[in-house]
């Protein structure tokens, strides 16, 4: 398209000199002065010029739908690799089914039973009275004048509030947590470990244990290519680890627990995994979950000593996930903290082996998942690195103060002379005894069913039974693009309303199939749930045989 007439002069009123678009700006001036032909020419020419300029855009595009800056193709590729089976597709479908039930859609069941996650209160466990009394007093201090609360609960609330800015649970705390609570955590660890000292300066409060675990992993991950950090994690594992490693672009190094020996940890398997990994990455850390999730095993002291020796010899940073330390049920099983065993082994282990151990208010007898409280204790960490850890935590300001307050009560519970002691102890023991009974019941019912085998639930809150699936079912799952145990769990959900997590979400040996089910449902619901699940497995097996 040619402009009919001579180009405008730079002296034309309103003419601006802007590099290659000088003429077009002049045309705009003339168009404003009544030259409609010039305006049409301008729009075509200006669009061409602007599209040719760096960062330029065609006017048609500018007037059309705007292209998204953030798409699946342009987003962080590491995030796309993150998977978290505990809240994955199965749970999303369970939520849809719950909505359909509320809308009156007919189903072969009347409720969805979420046995997929260790959420104690959601499954009907009652909160511990003392914890909630003190928390209520902290959140609403006017209640301190009420006669409905015991005096020891009031004293505890007052001491917590005095340590808060403005005497309010709504204030920020220090990034590593309220100092008196850190001191109480140190005293708790010292009592737990038979008098072995704990330094409050080595304790960092956190938003549940998960946040602290990810923080430590961030410190560890470095390098590129074959020098990229590798982290040994147990298989089966809690998916937090695989998800965090994927997000950090670290290398996941699998070591397999021995299912035939009640999910025992074998140092020979650790060595196999380590040697194999050194060909493509730099292993720097070893993660242990004790008691196990999802497998429920409790490590013996001898096993812990062997793991510490292995980590020391191979120069690996130890991460001990001990959030289920209060949940030990099996006769002959006992929780041993890695910190205690490490210190009792003496030099050089006690003075040189690096360790981070984690605990939480979400599990145990407390089950306060939603309040998000926990801590990490670091041992033998380089002081300069510890300062960097403090910096990392300061970026996130501080852990939630309600969670810190509950943690304070967990690590410093009522004393025998306190008014709340008797009720506190009774409620705590009742929760743990109930969990122990349900652990035995789960094992007993599953092991009576052909095609299901369940190891003893020695601790934690889950069973991880192995299931046999017919070849036709495996083939059908492949046709649908599903893992065989995912196919089984989806069918289970659709036909019974029972929501469990397939073993493929936790990792398992090739050719084996499992699911994880929490033992948290109330006793009156657990037995029917177990029986219904067992009956479904039998029906499923017949259908595909």
How many CB atoms are located within 10 Å of the residue 529 CB?
A: 20
Residues 52, 37: Cα–Cα separation, whole Å:
23
370 torsion bin: left (phi>0), alpha (psi -120 to 50), beta (else): alpha
Residues 282, 143: Cα–Cα separation, whole Å:
56
What pLDDT does 426 receive? 96
How many CB atoms are located within 10 Å of the residue 145 CB?
A: 8
54-88 pLDDT, tens per residue? 555 555 556 667 788 877 777 777 776 766 655 67
Higher-confidence residue of 288 and 14: namely 288
Cβ neighbors of 267 (< 8 A, separation 6 or more) are 306, 307, 310
285 torsion bin: left (phi>0), alpha (psi -120 to 50), beta (else): beta
385-418 pLDDT, tens per residue? 999 888 888 888 888 899 999 999 999 999 999 9
495-513 pLDDT, tens per residue? 999 999 999 888 888 889 9
104-156 pLDDT, tens per residue? 888 888 888 888 888 888 888 899 999 999 999 999 999 999 999 999 999 99
Tell me the Cα Rg of the chain.
Answer: 30
User: What does the pLDDT average to over 88-103?
Assistant: 86
Neighbouring-strand partners of residue 235: 256
Residues 352, 421: Cα–Cα separation, whole Å:
40
Q: Do domains 80-124+424-544 and 129-411 have the same CATH topology?
A: no
Q: Which stretch, 54-58, 88-92, 98-102, 232-236, has highest mean pLDDT?
A: 232-236
Give kind and range of the element (H or E) at residue 205. Answer: strand 203-206
How many CB atoms are located within 10 Å of the residue 326 CB?
A: 19
Reference 88, options 459, 469, 382, 485; nearest CA is 485
Cβ neighbors of 315 (< 8 A, separation 6 or more) are none
Give kind and range of the element (H or E) at residue 222. Answer: none
Classify domain 129-411 at the CATH class level. alpha beta
Reference 192, options 184, 204, 182; nearest CA is 184
Beta pairing class for 229-235 and 498-499: unpaired
Residue identified by tokens 């290659």 is 20
Tokens of 377: 């204790």
Angle in degrees, CA 402, 383, 223, rounded to 5: 95
Reference 505, options 464, 454, 472; nearest CA is 464
Architecture in CATH for domain 80-124+424-544: Alpha-Beta Complex (3.90)
Q: What is the mean pLDDT of the chain?
A: 86
Question: Could you give phi then psi for residue 202, rounded to 5 degrees?
Answer: -95, 5
User: What does the pLDDT average to over 153-173?
Assistant: 91
Is pLDDT of 236 > 60?
yes
DSSP line for 19-74: GGGHHHHHHHHHHHTT-HHHHHHHHHHHHHHHHHSTT---HHHHHSPPPPSS-TTT
At 274, is the pLDDT very low, low, confident or very high (cuts 50, 70, 90)?
very high
Is pLDDT of 253 > 80?
yes
DSSP code of residue 416 = T
Q: Specify the length of the chain in residues.
A: 545
Is pLDDT of 29 > 60?
no
Hey, is 468 helix, strand or coil?
coil
Q: Where are the domains of the chain?
A: 80-124+424-544, 129-411
């Amino acid at each position: 398209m040619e402009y009919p007439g001579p180009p405008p002069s730079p002296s034309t009123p309103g003419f601006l000199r802007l590099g290659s678009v000088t003429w077009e700006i002049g045309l705009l001036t003339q168009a404003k002065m009544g030259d409609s032909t010039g305006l049409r020419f301008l729009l075509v020419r200006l669009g061409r010029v602007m599209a040719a300029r760096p960062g330029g855009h065609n006017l048609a595009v500018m007037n059309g739908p705007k292209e998204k800056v953030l798409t699946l193709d342009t987003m962080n590729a590491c995030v796309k690799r993150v998977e978290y089976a505990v809240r994955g597709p199965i749970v999303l479908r369970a939520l849809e089914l719950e909505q359909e039930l509320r809308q009156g859609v007919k189903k072969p069941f009347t409720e969805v039973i979420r046995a997929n996650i260790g959420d104690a209160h959601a499954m009907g466990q009652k909160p511990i009275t003392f914890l909630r009394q003190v928390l209520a007093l902290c959140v609403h201090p006017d209640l301190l004048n009420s006669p409905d609360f015991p005096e020891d609960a009031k004293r505890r609330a007052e001491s917590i509030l005095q340590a808060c800015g403005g005497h309010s649970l709504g204030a920020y705390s220090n990034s590593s947590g309220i100092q008196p609570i850190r001191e109480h955590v140190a005293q708790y660890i010292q009592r737990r470990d038979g008098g072995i000292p704990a330094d409050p300066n080595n304790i960092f409060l956190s938003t549940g244990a998960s946040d602290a675990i990810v923080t430590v992993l961030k410190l560890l991950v470095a390098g590129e290519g074959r020098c990229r950090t590798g982290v040994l994690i147990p298989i089966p594992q809690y998916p937090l680890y695989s998800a965090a490693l994927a997000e950090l672009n670290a290398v996941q190094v699998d070591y397999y627990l021995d299912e035939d020996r009640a999910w025992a940890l074998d140092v020979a398997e650790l060595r196999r995994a380590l040697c194999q990994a050194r060909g493509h990455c730099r292993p720097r850390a070893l993660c242990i979950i004790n008691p196990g999730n999802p497998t429920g095993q409790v490590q013996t002291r001898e096993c812990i000593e062997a793991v510490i020796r292995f980590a020391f010899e191979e120069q690996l940073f130890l991460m001990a996930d001990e959030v289920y330390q209060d949940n030990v049920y099996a006769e002959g099983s006992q929780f041993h903290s890695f910190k205690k065993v490490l210190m009792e082994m003496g030099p050089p282990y006690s003075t040189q082996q690096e360790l981070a151990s984690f605990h939480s208010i979400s599990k145990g007898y407390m089950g306060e998942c939603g309040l998000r409280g926990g801590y990490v204790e670091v041992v033998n960490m380089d002081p300069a690195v510890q300062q960097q850890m403090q910096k990392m935590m300061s970026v996130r300001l501080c852990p939630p103060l309600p969670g810190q307050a509950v943690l304070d009560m967990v690590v410093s519970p009522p004393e025998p002379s306190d008014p709340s002691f008797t009720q506190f102890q009774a409620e705590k023991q009742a929760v743990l005894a109930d969990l122990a009974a349900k652990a035995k019941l789960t094992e007993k019912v599953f092991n009576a069913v052909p095609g299901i085998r369940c190891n003893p639930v020695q601790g934690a809150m889950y069973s991880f039974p192995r299931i046999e699936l017919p070849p036709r079912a495996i083939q059908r799952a492949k046709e649908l693009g599903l893992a065989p145990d995912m196919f089984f769990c989806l069918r289970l959900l659709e036909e019974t309303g029972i929501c469990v997590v397939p073993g493929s979400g936790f990792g398992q040996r090739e050719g084996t199939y499992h699911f994880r089910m929490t033992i948290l449902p109330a006793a009156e619901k657990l037995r029917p749930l177990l029986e219904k699940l067992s009956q479904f497995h039998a029906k499923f097996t017949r259908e595909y045989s």
